[in-house]
Structure 1
């Protein structure tokens, strides 16, 4: 048996990067800062990849600084560096579930955002 489940709660590091494909698919990429237990430790940063309806929700209602919760799986993107030819990889969280968290005031800052719900 294998398990690959990641659950994170943190703040979005920048505006969503959204791509619409001719096939009708939607992909959204975000960065997420997750604080450590000790306040003087720097946050851990994660790259998130979101697809489909959930990506559309993220594109419309998630902004820099938004508090969100995500559940997904860890994957590694692989590529070859154009300049050096070296093989590179980057860990990415493929998001299956997105929760919009935070206060009502946080949600109102994003014009017309829905109440905190699972998407």
Structure 2
């Protein structure tokens, strides 16, 4: 049996980028900063992940997620592979294909300001 499942909680590193396709599909990409458990005296440096979200979930991410938003995601680890045009070297980049997105809050929540959302999920 094999299983490819990733679950992360962190803050959006930038506002989502959204693409609408002629087929009707919607794709949203963004980055996620996740803090590691660290030992005393270690530098507090986050791990960064590239996220790819499709469909209705992508539309929700585009509307409600902003840089600094606290979100939880689960999905599968995939790799984008290509050949560098200049060096002809094979390149790859890990991407989390998100199946589920949870809106957990934003930086504004910690300052006491409530985010304004028109819909409940």
Taking structure 2 as the reference length, what is the TM-score of the superposition?
0.87
- 1:65 matched to 2:68? The reply is yes
How many aligned positions are there? 115
**Structure 2, unpaired ranges of 5+:** none
Query: Once the 2 structures are TM-superposed, how far is the Cα of residue 63 of structure 1 from its aligned partner?
Result: 0.3
- 1:23 matched to 2:26? The reply is no
Query: Once the 2 structures are TM-superposed, how far is the Cα of residue 113 of structure 1 from its aligned partner?
Result: 5.2
Taking structure 1 as the reference length, what is the TM-score of the superposition?
0.88
Once the two structures are superposed, residues 69-110 of structure 1 have per-residue CA deviations (whole angstroms, 9 ceiling, x without a partner) of 00000000000111111110000000000000026x54844x
Moved over 4 A (4+): none
Which of 30, 49, 52 is matched with 1:49 structurally? 52
Which of 77, 81, 87 is matched with 1:78 structurally? 81
Please give the secondary structure, in 1, of the residue aligned with 2:100: strand
**Structure 1, unpaired ranges of 5+:** none
Query: Once the 2 structures are TM-superposed, how far is the Cα of residue 112 of structure 1 from its aligned partner?
Result: 2.7
- 8 Å Cα contact 1:61/1:113 also seen in 2: no
Structure (1 or 2) with the larger CA radius of gyration? 2
Please give the secondary structure, in 1, of the residue aligned with 2:105: coil
Please give the secondary structure, in 2, of the residue aligned with 1:97: strand
